[in-house]
């Protein structure tokens, strides 16, 4: 494999990475709910969130905990009965939108997939 072969291979790698990134962006924009839109979503609406855990309590015996999930558009508290995820974990969360006592958005987690 000469210089031309390496050049052709590098071009194929760049095109593949760009195509993969484009597919990821389109899938994220069409399937996931940005956190900043939860303020206008009706309560009990099912949402799909992708984000990183910014703050989570220390693991304890109480499985009912809340953690702070953030994405590039904002952050929201998620209540879970599965136990706290690790801080810094990247999660895919299926949840139900809800409000707290101060009428701020929060999510009640139904399922989650992570860390990757």
DSSP line for 78-112: EEESS-PPPTT-EEEEEEEEEE-TTS-EEEEEEEE
Give the per-residue pLDDT at 90: 92
Predicted confidence (pLDDT) at residue 19 exceeds the cutoff of 60: yes
Give the per-residue pLDDT at 14: 93
Name every residue whose Cβ is closer than 8 Å to that of residue 99 and which is 6 or more positions away in sequence: 43, 105, 106
Residue 91: pLDDT band with limits 50, 70, 90: very high
Give the per-residue pLDDT at 63: 62
The residue range of the domain holding 13 is 1-31
We report the CATH number of the domain holding residue 95 as 2.40.50.200
Question: What is the overall mean pLDDT for the chain?
Answer: 86
Chain segment 20-75, per-residue pLDDT in tens: 999 988 988 888 888 888 888 888 899 999 999 998 776 665 667 889 999 888 99
Instruction: Please tell me the total count of domains within the chain.
Output: 2
Examine the domain organization and report whether 55 and 107 are in the same domain.
Answer: yes
Say what the pTM is. 0.73
Examine the domain organization and report whether 69 and 80 are in the same domain.
Answer: yes
Examine the domain organization and report whether 93 and 41 are in the same domain.
Answer: yes
Examine the domain organization and report whether 26 and 44 are in the same domain.
Answer: no
């Amino acid at each position: 494999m000469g210089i031309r072969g390496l050049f052709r291979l590098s071009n194929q790698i760049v095109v593949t990475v760009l195509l993969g990134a484009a597919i990821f962006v389109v899938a994220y924009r069409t399937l996931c709910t940005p956190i900043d839109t939860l303020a206008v979503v009706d309560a009990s609406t099912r949402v799909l969130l992708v984000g990183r855990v910014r703050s989570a309590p220390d693991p304890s015996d109480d499985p009912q905990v809340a953690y702070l999930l953030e994405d590039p558009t904002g952050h929201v508290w998620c209540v879970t009965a599965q136990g706290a995820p690790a801080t810094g974990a990247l999660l895919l969360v299926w949840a139900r939108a809800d409000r707290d006592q101060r009428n701020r958005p929060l999510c009640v987690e139904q399922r989650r997939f992570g860390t990757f």
